[in-house]
Amino acid sequence: MSSETSQCGDLNPKGVALVTGAARGIGKAIALRLASDGFAVAVNDLPSNTGSLLEVVEELKKLNVEALACIADVSVESEVQIMIEEVIAHFPTGRLDVMIANAGVAKWNTLIDTTAADWDTVIRVNARGTFLCYKYAALQMIRQGGGGRIVGAASICAKKGVPSLGAYCASKFAIRGLTQAAAQELGPHAITCNSYAPGGISTDMLGVLASGNAADSGGTPEDYYEALKARTPLGCIGDPADVADVVSFLASKESRFITGQSISVNGGTYFD
Ligand code: NAD
C-alpha cells in the first residue's frame, strides 16, 4: 500500500511546528531541521534566552519559512496556553500540526544530596512542562481536526536509572509513561505521540553533567566525555543533529504508524 492510500491518517507536510527549549542545543537543531523539511516553525524558550531565541528565528527565516518566537516557561500552565494561542493566531493556517516538547533541565546530584527543591525543579520543568505541552497541543489538534504529531524529549535515563541523575531519571520515566498513555488516547484522532531518548549529546546540558561528574570524581569533564564514548559502540558522543534527524521522521507523515514509542538515539550505549 503506498503512502497515498495509508489507513493511518495523513499530515499537512507544510504545517506548523512548535519546538520548546529551542534557543540552543537539541531544540534549536530540531527547529532548523523542521524548517528545512518545510514546516513553519515557532520556537520557545525562557525570557532569559530571548536574545538567542530571536537569533534562531532569524536563522529559520533564512530557510524561507515563517517563524515566530514565543517566550514562555513550559512549567506554567497559563504561559503554555498563551504560547499555543500565539502560534494559532500568528500563522495563516491557524493550526498547530507538530508539537515538540523538548525543554528540559538536569541536575547532577546523588539521592542523599538532592534537595526537595532540586527534585521539584527537575520534575516541574521536565514532567509537568511536558504534560502541559502535550495537553494543550492535543486540545488544539483535536479541535482543528486532521491529525497531528506530538513528540517529547525522553532520554536514555527514561529507560535505565543512572547514578547521580535520580530526579532527572524519574522525570524522564514520567515522560515515557505519559507518551504511552497519550498515544492510546490520541490515536483515534490520528494524532501520534512519541518521544526521543538520546544518549549523550554534545550540548550545554551535557556540559553541566560533565562538570558535576568531575566535581564528584575528582577528574575532569573530559574524563566524563571519554567514559561516555567508551560505553558507546560507535565510539562517539552524539550531536544535536543526530536527534533532529530522528525527530524530523517522527514529525513527518511517513511515521504515521508509529506511536507510543520512545526512540533510542544513543549510539548503541543501551539496547531496549
Ligand atoms: P540544553 O540545556 O542545552 O537546552 C535546553 C533548553 O531548554 C534551554 O535553552 C533552556 O533555556 C530551555 N528551558 C529550560 N527550562 C525551560 C522552561 N521551563 N521553559 C522553556 N524552556 C526551558 O539541553 P539539551 O541538551 O539541548 O536538551 C534538550 C532536551 O533533550 C532536554 O529535555 C533534555 O533533557 C533532553 N536530553 C538531552 C540529552 C543530552 O545529552 N544533551 C540526552 C538525553 C535527553
**pLDDT confidence of 2, banded at 50, 70, 90?**
very low
pLDDT at 3 over 50: no
Active-site residue, 224 included: no
Q: Do residues 112 and 210 share a domain?
A: no
Q: List, for residues 70-96, the tens digit of each pLDDT value.
A: 999 999 999 999 999 999 999 999 999
pLDDT digits (tens, 9 = 90+) for 218-231: 999 999 999 999 99
pLDDT digits (tens, 9 = 90+) for 190-225: 999 999 999 999 999 999 999 999 999 999 999 999
Question: In the annotation, is 172 catalytic?
Answer: yes
**For ligand 1, what atom is nearest to the CA of residue 74?**
19
Q: Is the pLDDT of residue 236 over 70?
A: yes
- In this structure, is residue 119 part of a structural domain? yes
Q: How far apart are the first and last CA of the chain?
A: 29
Q: What is the mean pLDDT of residues 115-137?
A: 98
With cut-offs at 50, 70 and 90, classify the pLDDT of residue 239: very high
166 lines ligand 1 (CB under 6 A): no
Number of domains within the chain: 2
Exposure string over 236-251, b if 16+ CB within 10 A, otherwise e: ebbebebbbebbbebb
pLDDT score at 11: 53
- Of the candidates 183, 225, 174, the one whose C-alpha atom is nearest the C-alpha of residue 201 is 225
Give the ligand 1 atom nearest the CA of 208.
2
Same domain, residue pair 148 and 51: yes
Reported confidence tier of residue 14, pLDDT bands at 50, 70, 90: confident
The pLDDT value given to residue 8: 64
Catalytic one of 172, 196, 224, 225: 172
C-alpha cell at 178: 505519559
Edge-to-edge strand list for the sheet holding 262-265: 67-71, 40-45, 16-19, 98-101, 148-153, 191-198, 262-265
In a domain, 176, yes or no: yes
Tell me the C-alpha distance between 175 and 129, whole Å: 10
Query: Is any atom of ligand 1 closer than 6 Å to the C-beta of 73?
Result: yes
Do the domain assignments include residue 271? no
Cα distance between residue 45 and residue 74, in whole Å:
8
Q: Is residue 3 part of a domain?
A: no
Percent of the chain with pLDDT over 70: 95
Q: Residue 195's beta-bridge partner residues?
A: 152, 262
Cβ 129 under 6 angstroms from ligand 1: yes
Domain assignment present for 65: yes
Range of the domain at 51: 14-199+239-265
Q: Is the same domain home to 129 and 226?
A: no
Determine the pLDDT at residue 12: 52
| 2 compared with 49, residue with greater pLDDT | 49
Q: What CATH number has the domain bearing residue 47? A: 3.40.50.720
Q: Looking at the structure, tell me whether residues 211 and 190 fall in a common domain.
A: no
Residue whose CA lies nearest to ligand 1 atom number 28: 26
Nearest CA to ligand 1 atom 35: 153
Atom of ligand 1 nearest to the CA of 76: 18
More confident residue, 12 or 28: 28
In the reported structure, the alpha carbon of residue 152 is separated from the centroid of ligand 1 by a whole-number distance in angstroms of 11
Distance 205 CA to ligand 1 centre (A): 7
Q: How far is the CA of 146 from the centre of ligand 1 (A)?
A: 29
pLDDT band at 1 (very low <50, low <70, confident <90, very high): very low
Ligand 1 centre to CA of 154 (Å) is 11
C-alpha cell at 251: 514529525
For residue 21, what pLDDT is reported? 99
